[in-house]
Structure formats: C-alpha cells, structure tokens
C-alpha cells in the first residue's frame, strides 16, 4: 500500500502516490541516459561535418553517425579517441569490424602556425 506524500523535488508542493517525484520533476531514463554521449556526438559532427570513410557530407537520407573505431564488442571503449564520424551507409557496411580510420584530429590556432593536438 502506497501512502500519499510530497514530491521529492525540493520545494515542490505536489502530492504523489507510488513514485518519488511528480510528473513535472520526473526525468525519463531515456533522457538521462546518454546525454553526455549526445553532446560529444554533436561536437564531433560539428567539428567534422563529413564521413571519415567516403568523405560525403551528412544529408537527411544519409546522416552522419558516430562509430567506434574498435567496436565495444571487440574490447573497444567509449573514449572519444575511439570514435569517428561516419555516414550511415559506411557505418552499416563496417558493422563490427575494426576500423583503420583515424579519429578526429583537433587543429588549434596557436599564433603564427597551426599546432595539431
């Protein structure tokens, strides 16, 4: 039997039964899980708006995706150094193979010349 109680969010006057938070303060697991990965993916796609394999730009029919160079199923990690930008077709063609594609190289303007970090 669940008793009515106040929402667990600080200062919220809503009364809830069976859940710790009211609908206004509930965040679904889908929204919570992977938000950092989505931000990193957006940064990588902004930094390199083309496929690392075939060089095509992202389109609605063939969007850019983030691929693991060494797949997680083969011992790879979620580290940014193990990810690259591929178009949907190249990502599907690669499947779970280990890629020879190099990760994105960051180029920083360091005064008179360019430094590759």
| Cα–Cα nearest to 89, from 48, 58, 44 | 58
What one-character DSSP code corresponds to residue 87?
E
pLDDT confidence of residue 107: 47
pLDDT confidence of residue 21: 86
pLDDT confidence of residue 29: 60
Report helix, strand or coil for 23. Answer: helix
Sort 32 into a burial class: Cβ within 10 Å, 0-12 / 13-18 / 19+. exposed
Would you give the end-to-end CA distance of the chain in angstroms?
59
Q: How many CB atoms lie within 10 A of CB 7?
A: 19
pLDDT confidence of residue 36: 81
pLDDT confidence of residue 31: 58
pLDDT confidence of residue 84: 92
HSE value, Cβ hemisphere, 13 Å, CA-based, for 72: 5
CA distance 10 to 8: 6
List pLDDT tens digits, range 14-24: 999 988 888 88
List pLDDT tens digits, range 48-104: 999 999 999 989 999 999 999 988 888 888 888 999 999 999 999 988 878 766 555
């Amino acid at each position: 039997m669940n008793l009515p109680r106040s929402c667990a969010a600080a200062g919220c006057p809503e009364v809830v039964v069976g859940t710790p938070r009211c609908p206004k303060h509930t965040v679904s697991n889908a929204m919570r899980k992977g938000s950092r990965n989505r931000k990193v993916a957006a940064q990588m796609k902004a930094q390199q708006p083309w496929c690392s394999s075939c060089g095509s730009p992202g389109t609605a029919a063939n969007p850019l995706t983030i691929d693991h160079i060494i797949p997680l199923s083969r011992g790879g990690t979620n580290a940014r150094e193990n990810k690259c930008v591929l178009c949907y077709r190249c990502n599907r063609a690669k499947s779970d193979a280990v890629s020879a594609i190099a990760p994105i190289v960051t180029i920083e303007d360091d005064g008179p010349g360019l430094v590759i970090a």
